């Protein structure tokens, strides 16, 4: 029997009082319960992303070995992306840009987060273009959080039950893609997976 | 032994004197020679895309059964996309929008075409967002044609040899994704493939 | 006193039973009442967009003189854009692509329309890139219609009053940009306005 | 006579050995010579962008008063944007996200920079969406630097003369938009400019 899928979660912001942290904690809890997935939560605040360097061709991958080792071992990735001015937070991009070939032929699921009524729909569209260049195959079943500041109760529990079904749908497709691509990496030769 | 992959090619424009037709014919010839791929060329001029309807929820799929049957049978798709004002031609979008669930869990390779010096880089980025919503998993190895009006000689042969290696790279990755996703469709249950 | 601003409205779809027609009619009525704007409604079904041609460098601008004369005279444009597969309808792109320099240094306001809950947020983002290349300066105050099929009563009247305030905001910014750019076209020399 | 236009330049990366710094210095020199523009070069390395905060609603604008005062006084902005994985560098986004209403009704010109052959065409498309949300009106005349590592000689001088004409075109349009919008801000009431 195949080992569990390893799918880390990246919280895509360092903003003070970031609301997306609630989404990250909630999703980490849900994914942890999934029988086929092993996960781990990554926070750019705890990564080494100095203000005088960025991008994948520099020494940053050597400074972030925990992140790098996770992505090397990963079958996929979940990115929690709040929408800042219709784009992604700088800290999210800095974290993604640290690596390159480590992502290739793995899957990614995108989680959009908004204070307003668009559920991060626009940041997701921009990320679709970025993660493709990283070699990640993005799923087409996103998760959107609208009015995130009102979404959770004081214990971090969603106020509406409907979200659990949406999380299930999101993970179902992510697992399908992760297993499919794992089979490809294990069985079909590629210059990108050696 | 698995049957050949079926990967049709869609020429994405109806413009008079369209230069992308040369790209389509050249690629059709190259792909036809590939030992693992069977192909077929689709031209929106020969599809039934009337000027009083568009989109996938209408009766257009019933009017375009050849296109629909091809995509149902397909393992992937190659889209030849000239860049018009940084976006895709209307005819290309109309052809894509005819279908929906028929595309799911198949792959697509994007070919950008420009009269100028950007090789369709921008139309590719817009299409990445569209094909994802269609359920297609796009490869990250594009093919770009710059200054297409000068690219081919009078017999439709590329003036530079380097393009053959680029086509090989493009197809290598497309075949990898097509085989991987075919395995998934055949072996992993999904509500999208029934 | 300056003449009224001329700001035509383009309905961006030819789909059968198109819901955006209701938006177009409603907006046409609202804009017509505006004391500073003169308008006119354009429908791609009534334009000459044959299935064997598209794009601005061909003879299509000569076939669509009513559209061309309107844009030449216009101070701005309102585009009503339903979202099809995260992108714009082919018919909308075909209509826009007919012209080029006629658009330069005028403004455009974008109206996103969805059957679902995203209000056309994604088609707007793609159009922002296209209209910029056309030389149009897009406003940052969009109008979004969610669940359009439920939005209007049987007489085409919006069920909720809040939309009138949103239309006012949308038009206020559009008028500001239209007047500002008109001043520029009339007073500052440019190779693009001769 | 109107005062000179104030158009600061933002260098959009903190990467070690960043090639875009050469572009920034070259452009700073060219813009400084322009009779109608006053400029100033901003470097995110010298801004206060701590790794535990980002975005415009926090206290970052108070920590970056030099940047804020410049944008308040500015008529426009030039952004030098290297393309990292088809998107913008995190540091560029962090710098832009510090402010919001300060940008409204001003213009921006985008400069794409690539190590490869696409001249930053894709990062420009993503930024077009971001700067619009900031309230900036982007010009449609970009500047693209291809193969930037080979573009300048050891003294930072471009190896090819053609770039000077392209800079002139870029600035001509930027000046047109900056003057036009300045007239609007000074003469047309708007809730955004008070």
pLDDT value of residue B58: 65
pLDDT value of residue A189: 97
- Output B2 or A102, whichever has higher pLDDT: A102
pLDDT value of residue D59: 85
CATH of domain A5-187: 3.40.50.360
User: How many Cα neighbours within 13 Å face the side chain of A193?
Assistant: 22
pLDDT tens for residues D121-167? 999 999 999 999 999 999 999 999 999 999 999 999 999 999 999 99
With bands split at pLDDT 50, 70 and 90, how would you rate the model's confidence at B56?
A: confident
Sign of CA dihedral B184, B190, B192, B193: positive
Query: Looking at CA atoms only, how far is residue D23 from chain A in angstroms?
Result: 18
Query: Looking at CA atoms only, how far is residue A20 from chain D in angstroms?
Result: 13
Kindly determine whether residue C122 and residue A121, on different chains, have CB atoms separated by under 8 Å.
yes
**SS3 call for D16:** coil
Rg (C-alpha) for chain A, rounded Å, is 16
Kindly determine whether residue D119 and residue B119, on different chains, have CB atoms separated by under 8 Å.
no
With bands split at pLDDT 50, 70 and 90, how would you rate the model's confidence at C190?
A: very high
pLDDT value of residue A57: 65
Rg (C-alpha) for chain C, rounded Å, is 16
- A 10 A CB-CB count for D151 gives 19
Work out the angle at residue D86's Cα, subtended by the Cα atoms of residues D83 and D87, and round it to the nearest 5 degrees.
Answer: 70
DSSP string for A77-122? EEEEEE-BTTB--HHHHHHHHT-SGGGTT-EEEEEEE-SSTTTTHH
**SS3 call for A154:** coil
Q: In whole angstroms, give the CA distance from residue D177 to residue D164.
A: 20
Is the complex ipTM more than 0.90? Answer: yes
Query: Looking at CA atoms only, how far is residue C162 from chain B in angstroms?
Result: 30
With bands split at pLDDT 50, 70 and 90, how would you rate the model's confidence at A58?
A: low
- Torsion, CA A163, CA A167, CA A169, CA A175, rounded to 10: 180
CB-CB neighbors (< 8 A) of A117 in chain C: 119
List chains touching D (3+ CB pairs under 8 A).
A, B, C
D11-20 burial string, b = 16+ CB within 10 Å, else e?
Answer: bbbbbeebbb
Query: Looking at CA atoms only, how far is residue D46 from chain C in angstroms?
Result: 30
pLDDT value of residue C56: 74
Compute the average pLDDT of residues C72-99: 98
Kindly determine whether residue B119 and residue D122, on different chains, have CB atoms separated by under 8 Å.
no
**SS3 call for A45:** helix
CB-CB neighbors (< 8 A) of C133 in chain B: 85-87
DSSP string for chain D? -PPPEE--EEE----TT-THHHHHHHHHHHHHH-TTEE--EE-GGGS---TT--STTSTHHHH-HHHHHHHHH-SEEEEEEE-BTTB--HHHHHHHHT-SGGGTT-EEEEEEE-SSTTTTHHHHHHHHHHHHHTT-EE-S--EEESSGGGTB-TTS-BS-THHHHHHHHHHHHHHHHHHHHHHHHHHS--TT--
What kind of fold does domain C5-186 have according to CATH? Rossmann fold (3.40.50)
Chain A residue nearest residue B188, CA to CA: A176
Q: In whole angstroms, give the CA distance from residue D10 to residue D15.
A: 14
Contact C11, C184 (CB under 8 A): no
pLDDT value of residue A107: 98
pLDDT value of residue D56: 74
**Quick one: which of B74, C54, B55, D89 has its CA closest to A98?**
D89
Assess whether pLDDT exceeds 60 at residue B150.
yes
DSSP-assigned beta bridge partners for residue D81: D112
Work out the percent of chain D whose per-residue pLDDT is above 70: 98
Compute the average pLDDT of residues B61-87: 97
With bands split at pLDDT 50, 70 and 90, how would you rate the model's confidence at C189?
A: very high
Q: Where are the alpha helices (DSSP H) in C41-116?
A: 60-63, 65-73, 90-97
Interface test with C, best of B85, B96, B123, B131 (most C CBs within 10 A): B85
Kindly determine whether residue C184 and residue D188, on different chains, have CB atoms separated by under 8 Å.
no
> Average per-residue pLDDT in chain C?
96
DSSP code at position B144: E
CB-CB neighbors (< 8 A) of A125 in chain C: 86, 122, 125
Compute the average pLDDT of residues B12-26: 97
Rg (C-alpha) for chain D, rounded Å, is 16
**SS3 call for B133:** helix
Kindly determine whether residue B122 and residue D122, on different chains, have CB atoms separated by under 8 Å.
yes
Work out the percent of chain C whose per-residue pLDDT is above 90: 94
**SS3 call for D68:** helix
Q: In whole angstroms, give the CA distance from residue C110 to residue B79.
A: 28
Q: What is the pTM of this model?
A: 0.98
Kindly determine whether residue C55 and residue B89, on different chains, have CB atoms separated by under 8 Å.
yes
Assess whether pLDDT exceeds 70 at residue A97.
yes
Residues of chain D with pLDDT under 70: 1, 57-58
pLDDT value of residue A59: 86
DSSP string for B146-172? SSGGGTB-TTS-BS-THHHHHHHHHHH
Sign of CA dihedral C94, C100, C102, C106: positive
Q: In whole angstroms, give the CA distance from residue D137 to residue D76.
A: 9
């Amino acid at each position: 029997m195949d080992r569990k899928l390893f799918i880390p979660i990246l919280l895509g912001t360092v903003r003070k009082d970031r609301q997306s942290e609630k989404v990250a904690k909630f999703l980490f809890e849900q994914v942890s319960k999934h029988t086929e997935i092993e996960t781990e939560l990554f926070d750019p605040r705890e990564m080494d992303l100095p203000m005088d360097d960025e991008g994948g061709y520099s020494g940053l991958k050597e400074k972030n070995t925990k992140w790098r080792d996770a992505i090397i071992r990963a079958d996929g990735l979940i990115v929690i992306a709040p929408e800042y001015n219709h784009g992604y937070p700088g800290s999210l991009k800095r974290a993604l840009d640290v690596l390159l070939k480590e992502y290739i032929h793995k899957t990614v699921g995108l989680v959009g987060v908004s204070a307003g009524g668009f559920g991060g729909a626009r940041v997701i569209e921009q990320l679709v273009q970025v993660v493709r260049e990283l070699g990640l195959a993005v799923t087409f079943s996103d998760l959107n959080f609208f009015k995130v500041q009102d979404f959770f109760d004081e214990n971090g529990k969603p106020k509406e039950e409907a979200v659990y079904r949406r999380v299930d749908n999101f993970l179902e497709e992510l697992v399908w893609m992760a297993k499919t691509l794992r089979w490809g990496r294990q069985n079909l030769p590629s210059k990108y997976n050696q």
